[in-house]
Chain A
Amino acid sequence: MNTGENPPTQFVDNDLKPVGHGRMLRKEDARFIRGKGRFIDDIQLPGMLHLAILRAPIAHGRIVSVDVTLAEAHPKVKLVGTGAMLAEHGLAWMPTLANDVQPVLATDKIHFQWQEVAFVVADDRYAAQDALELIDVEYEQLPVVVNARTALEASAPVIRDDLAGKTDNRCFDWETGDKQATDAVFARAEVVVGQEMVYPRVHPAPLETCGAVANYDPIDGDLTLWSTTQAPHAHRTLYSMVAGLPEHKIRVISPDIGGGFGNKVPIYPGYLCTIVASMLTGAPVKWTEDRFENLTSTAFARDYVMHGEIAATKAGRILAIRTNVLADHGAFNGVAAPTKYPAGFFGVFTGSYDIQAAHCAMTAVYTNKAPGGVAYSCSFRVAEAVYLIERLVDCLADQLGMDPVELRLLNLLKPDQFPYTSMTGWIYDSGDYESTLREALKIADYAGLRREQAEKRASGELMGIGVSVFTEAVGAGPRKDMDILGLGMADGAQLCLYPTGTAVLRVSCQSQGQGHETTFAQIVAEEIGIPPADIKVVHGDTDLSPFGMGTYGSRSTPVSGAAAVLVARKVRDKAHLFAATMLEVTVADLEWRKGSFHVIGDPAKSLTIQQIAKWAYGTGQLPDGVEGGLEAHIHYHPENLTYPNGAYICVVDVDPGTAVVTVRRFIAVDDCGTRINPMIIEGQVHRGLTDGVGMALMEMITFDEDGNCLAASLMDYLLPTALEVPDWETGFTVTPSPHHPIGAKGIGECATVGSPPAIVNAVVDALKPYGLRHADMPLTPSRLWEAMNGNAQPPM
């Protein structure tokens, strides 16, 4: 289905050298299928040493003593680093991306289990790990807080006593919307439904863990750092600010990255330890985290306790939403969201609905858990917002006895309401939500599914159908609103069309698997009319790419993608001037047909972009005031976020005897505006849907009351395999964004954000005969069975 434009070009054979948007096989695959990708741990440098990190086994306590004598005596050990040693260099603490601070190595206190305490640098990775066991640390344990609900009790120990005057565990308070107006609507509403729901702590768990290789050249003072970073330029600026190294002498390279999902946005203590170790030993140093470290110490996601209420008429018109949220930020505020948005983009919790008022009050707390907060493809907390509203709408449908699809159709924003300013101040760019939902209903045969469900219920089988209709907010962000630590969230792009007609595009975002080397070439190909095969995309190296904020929050296409379009148009405009000079006509006499300029009325008189490129570097007389060459540069600030959206339908079967959930079908219809490469879009959607199955059914980072992390390996932090997910069914609508030069919107996180409520709604729907209205994720067999028996427990 297609509501906004002609069907995208479909081409599959790269040899045909088609130009522009459409299904094109990926350029980067050539190396990956041969095992020739170059990931962090693949990097080998002559004389390279290996770093390993000692971590604290307790969740809260004081360090009494650290004895490294035996470790230093190990024959293969070159350096042992401690918090005390870093303190001498002023590097014991570092800023987080949320204006908090966090120890690189603990100096006096442990704030969460497996916090960094010391490092060892040795000749090989086996020796480094051996030497960790030779470090003797004595701890004095303190009482532990791992439950956000008890963190603000007077009896709770104060975790952040490093912060001057801190007497409790409050991290911040935040509010959005109009409380008074919202409360007034609630007071006169015919129907009010409330539900408390927990979005449990989860972890992005990219298949490649984090790591770094640092190589400091003491003669030139140059530092080269290969690291698993989704934001090489921003990291470089921060290293300069933290370590005092001149920014221009730092080169951050993000090589091939084995998945990020937000896990590789923050700067971790391990990166800084690796840099320090290289500077102190004069040798290249490699650190690669093991899975245990990755799950226990790097950026988690979610961990929101949300109490939501929805007000409506008896006929099902939704009037208002309000919510109180308790946000668990762990021991340090490590949220990597735009600085003015401490709760990320949670403010879009009004969803896809036309309502009158909304309000959210949030309290964030410190606990003895690892820091982080925004990760796992959440689009800066849109995941939590969508879950809240889409669960609440189902609760309302249940209360009213309405079909959840009918209720949604009654309340969706209409196409003519866009651009739409939400009750919390977000400007939705475009959408045709009803068409998108109807497309999903058609693919699913919704009416048929409901008939099948009725038959099954009659025979005691538990089949459920769940729906979610979500609106995403991605592409941070507009200069006036969005920065991280004062850095505006703009992206650079540079395009050089060389004399023989091939081009190099340099972009500031980088890829963790998204296929930028292909899609960005397609974007430029469409604009300047040369085949994608003739365009090389350079990214992920601060020495080779223009400044920009990196790849996360689905911002590549909305921000860097727009930059690529506009820089290509600059090149084309310059070519236009040259063409006029070459053909001795005026600019107005020429028209652009993809790949060449033609004289209007005399189309045989024309020049290809390649001919113009050759001329641009040649000897011909240039137009007045125009430089030779054919290249351009841009630093692009988006005017608005983009608001991709979708309608998802999930069909589950629940075994009444074991409470095992099977996701039988999943229908995802997405609208990400103009589609650049449908194959890659489909892949991104599939990925997010799989995340949804994981979060809804099995993934949770959980702790015991002593603060021990109980999900420290992939034996206990369960990720979906091929056997837990169905053969995805996808569809699309196209409603171009008016705020992006080609109308494209970010798609990378839509399915991760939109799918969990569809799955939970389906399971709750299946369990209607049990009188269930809500059960918290993850819906493991045991937790669901308890809920079926009236013992639903919030996750811990």
Chain B
Amino acid sequence: MQVPAPFEYERATSVDHAIGLLSRRGSTARLVAGGHSLLPMMKLRLANFEYLIDINDLHRDLGFIKVEPSRVRIGAMTRHRELLESDDLRRLFPVFNDAERVIADPLVRNRGTIGGALCQADPSEDLSAVCTTLDASCVIRGPAGERVVTMAQFYRGPYETAVGPDEILTEIRIPLRPNGSSAFEKVGRRAGDWAVVSCGVAVWLRDGLITDARVGLAAVGPNTTGIPAVSQALRAKAPSEELYAEAGEIAARSCSPVTDQRGSAAYKRHLAGELTKRALRRAVARIRGEEP
């Protein structure tokens, strides 16, 4: 079996401790949470670090899902399984439950964290689509204090984020808005596979009309993208199959997939449309109580 190159292991006992270690070690250090993206890359020696800072003890402080009047706060060390099993998330943002059921596999979900998933910034990562859909923001803490960025600001390219070398993602904040629901659709080549395309959709209705809608598409560009044109096309319209199809067409037009092992660009573009359509349909059905 392949093994990582040598490194020094350090264990952070608090967020400040982690930031202190990062400040001292600079870019030669990397945080490890669940490790299910990082360690395979280190075993293949595609990534090498002199220091690995284990932040699993921070689960005590950063493993939480807190519902507040106007937002939900999710600690960055919250594990996939906790997201999957959260009744609050299932009720407020069913898109999480949809997605977590098809992210990797149960064993990986026992270890992997939302913070680790977002910070890996894999273009095919599913929670990025969920968070983009829900207009989440990311709380990043460093020696100079805390800052909050939008998902669009968080991603800087494939495998690149706004988190600096001495910073740590601590929390994901999701605004709570009434009269809405959400859904997630994914096509993989097999259970546990990374997405060929995955798509989150959130919709809000009032008096039978869409007040707002958001789409997050993964694996069809360098980073997960929200498609503002879809939101514009849906606002103030009554949900209908024709409207879903129109939204799908916009999503397909607006993304930039590439051909790879997982599928052709044409197929992925088609999926962007098809999955947008399906997720919209399901999210609306959920608002109407027609679907759990």
A163-B162 Cα distance, complex, nearest whole Å:
57
A6: which B residues are within 8 A, CB to CB?
Answer: none
Is A658 in the interface zone, CB < 8 Å from B?
yes
**Interface 9-mer from B147-155, B208-216, B267-275:** B267-275
Is A786 in the interface zone, CB < 8 Å from B?
yes
B3 to A721, Cβ gap below 8 A? no
A129-B4 Cα distance, complex, nearest whole Å:
9
Contact code string B75-97 (vs A, CB < 8 Å = 1, else 0): 00000000000000000000000
A125: which B residues are within 8 A, CB to CB?
Answer: 1, 3
A721 to B263, Cβ gap below 8 A? no
B190 to A698, Cβ gap below 8 A? yes
**Interface 9-mer from B113-121, B191-199, B223-231:** B191-199
B193: which A residues are within 8 A, CB to CB?
Answer: 718
B1: which A residues are within 8 A, CB to CB?
Answer: 125, 288, 290-291
Is A126 in the interface zone, CB < 8 Å from B?
yes
B2 to A786, Cβ gap below 8 A? no
B187 to A660, Cβ gap below 8 A? yes
B5: which A residues are within 8 A, CB to CB?
Answer: 130, 133
Is B189 in the interface zone, CB < 8 Å from A?
yes
A8: which B residues are within 8 A, CB to CB?
Answer: none
Instruction: Choose among A292, A711, A718, A724 the residue with the greatest number of B CB atoms under 10 Å from its CB.
Output: A718
B3: which A residues are within 8 A, CB to CB?
Answer: 125-126, 129
B271 to A721, Cβ gap below 8 A? no
Residue of B nearest to A717 (CB): B261
A710 to B267, Cβ gap below 8 A? no
A129 to B189, Cβ gap below 8 A? no
A710-B202 Cα distance, complex, nearest whole Å:
36
A361-B194 Cα distance, complex, nearest whole Å:
42
Given contacts A288-B1, A702-B261, A781-B196, whether A723 and B191 have CB atoms under 8 Å apart is yes
Which B249-282 residues have C-beta < 8 A from chain A? 261-264, 266-268, 270-271, 274-275, 278
B279 to chain A, nearest CB (A): 12
A702-B271 Cα distance, complex, nearest whole Å:
23
Which A285-323 residues have C-beta < 8 A from chain B? 288, 290-292
Count of residues in B whose CB is under 8 Å from the partner chain: 28
A718 to B190, Cβ gap below 8 A? yes
Is B45 in the interface zone, CB < 8 Å from A?
yes
Is B289 in the interface zone, CB < 8 Å from A?
no
Contact code string B1-26 (vs A, CB < 8 Å = 1, else 0): 11101100000000000000000000
Q: Which of B2, B6, B187, B191 is A781 in contact with, Cβ under 8 Å?
A: B187
Is A161 in the interface zone, CB < 8 Å from B?
no
B269 to chain A, nearest CB (A): 11
Q: Which of A126, A723, A782 is B196 in contact with, Cβ under 8 Å?
A: A782
Is A785 in the interface zone, CB < 8 Å from B?
yes
A685 to chain B, nearest CB (A): 22
Is A657 in the interface zone, CB < 8 Å from B?
yes
Which A612-658 residues have C-beta < 8 A from chain B? 657-658
Residue of A nearest to B105 (CB): A721
Which A754-796 residues have C-beta < 8 A from chain B? 780-782, 785-786, 791
Given contacts A125-B3, A130-B6, A290-B2, whether A786 and B187 have CB atoms under 8 Å apart is no
B15 to chain A, nearest CB (A): 32
Given contacts A126-B3, A129-B3, A292-B2, whether A720 and B262 have CB atoms under 8 Å apart is no
A718-B262 Cα distance, complex, nearest whole Å:
11
A736 to chain B, nearest CB (A): 40
B278 to A780, Cβ gap below 8 A? no
B155 to chain A, nearest CB (A): 22
Residue of A nearest to B193 (CB): A718
Is A716 in the interface zone, CB < 8 Å from B?
yes
Q: Which of B105, B189, B270, B278 is A718 in contact with, Cβ under 8 Å?
A: B189
B191 to A721, Cβ gap below 8 A? yes
A291-B105 Cα distance, complex, nearest whole Å:
20
A660-B271 Cα distance, complex, nearest whole Å:
11
Q: Which of B261, B266, B268, B274 is A657 in contact with, Cβ under 8 Å?
A: B274
A155-B135 Cα distance, complex, nearest whole Å:
56
A782 to B190, Cβ gap below 8 A? no
A660: which B residues are within 8 A, CB to CB?
Answer: 187
B261: which A residues are within 8 A, CB to CB?
Answer: 702, 710-711, 716
Contact code string A494-516 (vs B, CB < 8 Å = 1, else 0): 00000000000000000000000
Q: Which of A710, A711, A720, A782 is B264 in contact with, Cβ under 8 Å?
A: A782
Given contacts A780-B263, A782-B267, whether A720 and B190 have CB atoms under 8 Å apart is yes
Residue of A nearest to B260 (CB): A710
A133-B192 Cα distance, complex, nearest whole Å:
32
B264: which A residues are within 8 A, CB to CB?
Answer: 782, 786
B76 to chain A, nearest CB (A): 25
Q: Which of B6, B262, B267, B275 is A785 in contact with, Cβ under 8 Å?
A: B267
A657 to B278, Cβ gap below 8 A? yes
B267: which A residues are within 8 A, CB to CB?
Answer: 659, 781-782, 785-786
B191: which A residues are within 8 A, CB to CB?
Answer: 721, 723-724
B45 to A133, Cβ gap below 8 A? yes
B2 to A658, Cβ gap below 8 A? no
A781-B5 Cα distance, complex, nearest whole Å:
37
**Top 4 A-B pairs, shortest CB-CB distance:** A782-B263, A723-B191, A782-B267, A657-B274
Name 8 extra pairs, CB < 8 A, besides A130-B5, A715-B194. Answer: A658-B275, A718-B193, A721-B190, A721-B192, A780-B189, A781-B187, A782-B196, A786-B264
Q: Can you list 28 contacts pairing A with B, beta carbon distance less than 8 Å?
A: A125-B1, A126-B3, A126-B6, A129-B3, A130-B5, A130-B6, A133-B45, A288-B1, A290-B1, A291-B1, A657-B278, A658-B274, A658-B275, A660-B187, A698-B190, A710-B261, A715-B194, A716-B261, A718-B189, A718-B190, A721-B190, A723-B191, A724-B191, A780-B189, A782-B263, A782-B268, A786-B264, A786-B266
What residues of chain B have their CB less than 8 Å away from a CB belonging to chain A?
A: 1-3, 5-6, 44-45, 105, 187, 189-194, 196, 261-264, 266-268, 270-271, 274-275, 278
